[in-house]
Amino acid sequence: AQSVAQPEDQVNVAEGNPLTVKCTYSVSGNPYLFWYVQYPNRGLQFLLKYITGDNLVKGSYGFEAEFNKSQTSFHLKKPSALVSDSALYFCAVRGPDRRSTLGRLYFGRGTQLTVWP
Amino acid sequence: KAGVTQTPRYLIKTRGQQVTLSCSPISGHRSVSWYQQTPGQGLQFLFEYFSETQRNKGNFPGRFSGRQFSNSRSEMNVSTLELGDSALYLCASSLISIQRGHNEQFFGPGTRLTVL
């Protein structure tokens, strides 16, 4: 079965410090991985994705994520956090099998990031 | 390009009623997926439509249904509403079916449904 785990419900970090939001996944074969962000009363916004290639993926708003196959992780990172980064972050995975009827995105439970001034 | 739009944004219904939510995808996008978001269950996949056909369905009862029109606009319907159906319903569009590719999905702002 395909699944995503975000082990931290909440992450707090001071503005200007680096941030990491953790994500681990479970899929058969090579995964497609995504990060989305949700601001209050808004839908989800796409940040970045990993399909294949370089393990370090760069995305919107200065975010990046590191794919680690051996640890089945896809952690979201940013070198210097901003107060405006405070939001709910979701990791998602999609399995690779095009023939599968399970071709859907599986989302983690979300991690609330709070950046304090 | 205009983003994904959903109507209405807020809805209040009572138990036993039915409701229809609407989603207009980004122009050119042919795949529309629906998700239910609640504090307790998180984001749960409802179904995906592509070229007017349901391609995939999540683990929801038959009270939840949907359809897609030839212009890719989609509606979802919930009949015999229950208190537990109170949630944010999100629609997402992508260029091709999520079954066949790895395109990112673009989400609408959601419809907040409250069942009293």
Q: Is A30 within 8 Å of chain B by CB?
A: no
pLDDT at A100 over 70: no
Of B10, B110, B7, the residue nearest A42 (C-alpha): B110
- CB B66, CB B47: distance < 8 Å: yes
Q: Is A61 within 8 Å of chain B by CB?
A: no
> Taking the mean position of all CA atoms in its chain, how far away is CA A64?
9
pLDDT at A104 over 80: no
Q: Is A39 within 8 Å of chain B by CB?
A: no
How many A/B residue pairs have CB atoms within 8 Å? Answer: 58
What's the pLDDT score for residue A40? 86
pLDDT at A99 over 80: no
Contacts of B26 in chain A (CB under 8 A): none
Q: Is B25 within 8 Å of chain A by CB?
A: no
Residue B100: pLDDT band with limits 50, 70, 90: low
Q: What is the pLDDT of residues B44-91, one digit of tens each?
A: 999 999 889 988 888 899 999 999 999 999 999 999 999 999 999 999
The residue whose two tokens read 């995964």 is A31
User: For residue B60, with 0-12 CB atoms within 10 Å meaning exposed, 13-18 middle and 19 or more buried, which class applies?
Assistant: middle
- Which of A45, A46, A90 is the closest to B43 by Cβ? A90
- The β-bridge relationship of strands A111-116 and A10-14 is parallel
Mean pLDDT across chain A, nearest whole number?
89
Q: For residues A69-92, give the mean pLDDT.
A: 96
Mean pLDDT across chain B, nearest whole number?
92
Contacting B residues, span 46-105, partner chain A, CB-CB under 8 Å? 48, 55-56, 58, 90, 92, 97-102, 104-105
- CB A66, CB A58: distance < 8 Å: no
Contacts of A49 in chain B (CB under 8 A): 102, 104
Specify the 3-state DSSP secondary structure of B100.
Answer: coil
Of B43, B46, B83, B49, the residue nearest B61 (C-alpha): B46
- CB A85, CB A97: distance < 8 Å: no
- Which of B48, B101, B110 is the closest to A104 by Cβ? B48
Q: How many CA atoms lie within 13 A of A70 on its CB side?
A: 0
Q: Which residues pair with A94 in a beta bridge?
A: A32
Residue A49: pLDDT band with limits 50, 70, 90: very high
Residue-level length of chain B: 116
Query: Are B107 and A36 inside 8 Å of each other by CB?
Result: yes
Contacts of B102 in chain A (CB under 8 A): 32, 49, 51, 94
pLDDT at A55 over 60: yes
> Taking the mean position of all CA atoms in its chain, how far away is CA A21?
7
